Structure 1
Amino acid sequence: MKIATKFLGEVEISEQDILTFEQGLLGLENEKKFVILPIDADLPLAILQSVEHTEIGFVVAYPFVFKKDYSFDISEDDREQLQIEKEENVLTYSIVTMKETFQESTINLLAPIIVNMDKKCGKQIVLQDNKSYPLRYPMQTLEGSAK
Structure 2
Amino acid sequence: MKVETYLYGAVEVDPEKVITFPNGLVGFEQSKRFMLVHDEGNAQPNSYTLQSLDDSALALLIVDPAALGFTYELELNDVEMALLQSPAADEVTVMQVLFKKEEGGKAAIMPSLRAPLVINTKARVGLQKIMETVSQNILLSNLASTV
TM-score range, shorter chain: 0.7 to 0.9
**SS at structure 2 position matched to 1:78:** helix
Q: Equivalences for 1:1-147 in 2 at 5 Å?
A: 1-39=1-39, 41=42, 43-98=45-100, 104-128=108-132, 131=135, 138-140=143-145
Q: Is contact 1:35-1:49 (8 Å) kept?
A: yes
Superposed structure 1 runs of 4+ greater than 6 Å apart: none
Q: Is contact 1:63-1:109 (8 Å) kept?
A: no
Post-superposition Cα deviations, 1:66-115, rounded to whole Å, max 9, x if no partner, equal: 13343322223211111123111111111111579xx9311112101111
Structure 1 unpaired stretches of 5+? 141-147
Give the Å deviation of 1:14: 0.1
**SS at structure 1 position matched to 2:95:** strand
- TM normalised by structure 1 equals 0.78
- TM normalised by structure 2 equals 0.78
C-alpha distance 98-128 of structure 1, shift in aligned 2 (>3 A): closer
When Rg is computed on C-alpha atoms for both structures, the one with the higher figure is 2
Post-superposition Cα deviations, 1:39-72, rounded to whole Å, max 9, x if no partner, equal: 3526411011111211011011111221334332
Give the Å deviation of 1:130: 5.3
- Kindly indicate which of the two structures has a greater share of residues assigned to strand: 2
Structure 2 unpaired stretches of 5+? none
The two structures, once aligned, show a CA RMSD in angstroms of 2.7
